[in-house]
Amino acid sequence: MAPPHATDFAAPLAAEPSLFKVHSPNVEYTDSHITSKYTYSNTRVVKQADGSMLVQPTEQAFEFKTERTVPRVGLMMVGLGGNNGTTLTASIYANKNKITWNTKRGVQEPNYWGSVTQASTVRLGGDDQGNDVYVPLNEMLPMVHPNDLVIGGWDISSLNLGDAMARSQVLEYDLQRQVRDEMAKITPLPSIYYPDFIAANQADRADNLIPGNDKRAHCDQIRKDIREFKAANGLDKVIVVWTANTERYAELIDGVNDTAENFLAAVASSHDEVAPSSIFALACIEEGVPFVNGSPQNTFVPGLIDLAERERAFIGGDDFKSGQTKFKSAIVDFLVNAGIKPVAITSYNHLGNNDGKNLSSHKQFRSKEISKSTVVDDMVAANHLLYKPDEHPDHTVVIKYVPSVGDSKRALDEYECDIFMGGRQSISLYNVCEDSFLASPLIIDLVVLAELMTRIEYKTGDMTKFSKFQSVLSILSYMLKAPMVTRGTPVVNALSRQRSAIENLFRACVGLAPNNEMGLEHKIW
Per-residue model confidence (pLDDT) at position 12: 38
Per-residue model confidence (pLDDT) at position 399: 84
Q: Which of 409, 413, 435, 445 is catalytic?
A: 409
Q: What would the CATH number be for the domain defined by 7-13+70-249+275-320+437-509?
A: 3.40.50.720
Band (13; pLDDT cuts 50, 70, 90): very low
What residues have CB less than 8 Å from 525, skipping those under 6 apart? none
Pairing of strands 27-29, 33-47: antiparallel
Residue 468 appears among annotated catalytic residues: no
> pLDDT, tens digit, for every residue of 325-367?
888 889 999 999 999 999 999 998 888 777 666 666 666 656 5
> Does pLDDT of 495 surpass 80?
yes
> pLDDT, tens digit, for every residue of 439-450?
999 999 999 999
Higher pLDDT, 11 or 112: 112
- Contact by Cβ (8 Å): 3, 232: yes
Per-residue model confidence (pLDDT) at position 317: 85
Portion of the chain with pLDDT greater than 90, in percent: 73
Residue 409 appears among annotated catalytic residues: yes
Distance CA 387, CA 390 (A): 8
Residue 408 to residues 86, 110, 347, 355, 356, Cα–Cα distance (Å): 16, 20, 16, 12, 11
- Asked if the domains 7-13+70-249+275-320+437-509 and 324-435 are classified in one and the same CATH topology, the answer is no
Residue 481 appears among annotated catalytic residues: yes
Distance CA 251, CA 249 (A): 6
> pLDDT, tens digit, for every residue of 82-137?
999 999 999 999 999 999 999 999 999 999 999 999 999 999 999 888 889 999 99
Mean of pLDDT values over 40-59: 94
Picking from 335, 319, 314, the residue whose alpha carbon sits closest to that of residue 450 is: 314
Kindly report whether the peptide bond that precedes residue 318 is cis, defined as omega within 30 degrees of 0: yes
Distance CA 255, CA 249 (A): 17
Residue 368 appears among annotated catalytic residues: yes
Q: Which CATH number fits domain 324-435: 3.40.250.10, 3.40.5.90, 3.30.360.10, 3.30.450.40?
A: 3.30.360.10
Mean of pLDDT values over 128-152: 95
What residues have CB less than 8 Å from 203, skipping those under 6 apart? 195
> pLDDT, tens digit, for every residue of 270-287?
999 999 999 999 999 999
> Does pLDDT of 179 surpass 70?
yes
pTM of the model: 0.92
Per-residue model confidence (pLDDT) at position 1: 43
Distance CA 497, CA 492 (A): 7
Distance CA 499, CA 495 (A): 6
Distance CA 312, CA 455 (A): 14
Q: Parse the chain into domains and list their residue ranges.
A: 7-13+70-249+275-320+437-509, 324-435
Indicate left, alpha or beta for 406 from its phi (over 0: left) and psi (-120 to 50: alpha). left
Q: Which of 321, 341, 368, 372 is catalytic?
A: 368
> Does pLDDT of 155 surpass 70?
yes
Q: Which of 319, 407, 413, 445 is catalytic?
A: 319
